[in-house]
A and B are shown apart, each in its own frame.
Chain A
Amino acid sequence: DIMMTQSPDSLAVSLGERATINCKSSQSVLYSSNNKNYLAWYQQKPRQPPKLLIYWASTRESGVPDRFSGSGSGTDFTLTISSLQPEDVAIYYCQQYYSAPRTFGQGTKVEIK
C-alpha cells in the first residue's frame, strides 16, 4: 500500500495570509506513460462530506476558487491557499489514486489565527 503523510497536522493562519500543506507519498504516484501525478486534494468542513478541490496534483476542480492551487510531482506535493478566507476553515486531505487501495493522508486542520 502507498502511505500518504501530510504535514503539518494542523496550522493556524491569519485571514488573507498564505496556508501551505504538504503531502508525501511512500512511492511515486507519477505514471510515466502519461506523465500525470495521480494525486488529489479534498476539503472537508464540519459535518459535511469531502469536496474535491484538486486532481492530477494541480488541476483545479470546476468552481473551486483560484486561491487554491496544487503543485509537486513524484512523491512530494503541496496544497496552497494563497489568501485564507473564513470559509476555508476545514480539514484537508491528500489522496493517491495511482494504485489500490486508494489511500488518504491523515488530514491537516486549517484554522484562523
Chain B
Amino acid sequence: EVQLVESGGGLVQPGGSLRLSCAASGLTFSSKWMHWVRQAPGKGLVWVSRINSDGSTTNYTDSVKGRFTISRDNAKNMLYLQMNSLRAEDTAVYYCARDQGVGPKVGAFDIWGQGTMVTVSS
C-alpha cells in the first residue's frame, strides 16, 4: 500500500521541542523532494519546509527559519522535522507530502500522510 505515516506529535509547552517523523512505504521516496505542510485548527494549508532527494538542499517558510530543521534518511525511507523553540502559533496538524516532480524538477504534492497534531500550550 502506498502511504506516508506521520508520528511524533503531541502536547508541548512553549519553548519546547518535538521531532516529527514520516515513514514512507510502497512508493518512490529516495528520488523525490519531500515537504512538510501544516494546518492550524479551522484554518488553511501552509507550506512549512522542503528537502531535496539527497538532503543537500532545504528551504523553510520565514516563520520557522532557525527553529525547524528538515532532514531525511533514504535508507530507512524516513522524513523528519525537528521543531525547537515552539510557539503557540505552531499549533497545527503537520502533514508530510511527496513532490511528484522527478529529479530536480518540481511538481505538485501527489501523496499526503494523514497528519500528526502538534499542540503548543502551557
Give A residues with C-beta under 8 Å from B. Answer: 38, 40, 42, 44, 48-52, 55, 61, 93, 95, 97, 100-107
| Assembled-state Cα–Cα distance A48/B62 (Å) | 27
Nearest-Cβ distance from residue B52 to partner chain A, whole angstroms? 12
Q: Mark B48-84, 1 if CB is under 8 A from A, else 0.
A: 0010000000010110000000000000000000000
Q: Are B45 and A93 in contact (CB under 8 A)?
A: yes
| Cβ-neighbour of A106 out of B44, B114, B115 (below 8 A) | B44
Q: Which residues of A contact B62 (CB under 8 A)?
A: 101
Q: Are B95 and A38 in contact (CB under 8 A)?
A: no
Q: Which residues of A contact B47 (CB under 8 A)?
A: 101-104
Q: Are B112 and A50 in contact (CB under 8 A)?
A: yes
Nearest-Cβ distance from residue B20 to partner chain A, whole angstroms? 15
B contact residues, total (Cβ < 8 Å): 21
Q: Which residue of B lies closest to A106 (CB)?
A: B44
Q: Which residues of B contact A95 (CB under 8 A)?
A: 45, 108-109
| Assembled-state Cα–Cα distance A51/B98 (Å) | 12
With A55-B100, A104-B45 as contacts: A97 and B106 at CB distance below 8 Å = yes
Q: Mark B96-122, 1 if CB is under 8 A from A, else 0.
A: 000010000011111011110000000
14 contacts between A and B (CB under 8 A): A40-B109, A42-B45, A42-B109, A49-B114, A50-B45, A61-B110, A93-B44, A100-B50, A101-B47, A101-B62, A102-B47, A103-B47, A106-B44, A107-B44
With A49-B95, A49-B113, A55-B100 as contacts: A104 and B46 at CB distance below 8 Å = yes
Q: Which residues of A contact B115 (CB under 8 A)?
A: 49
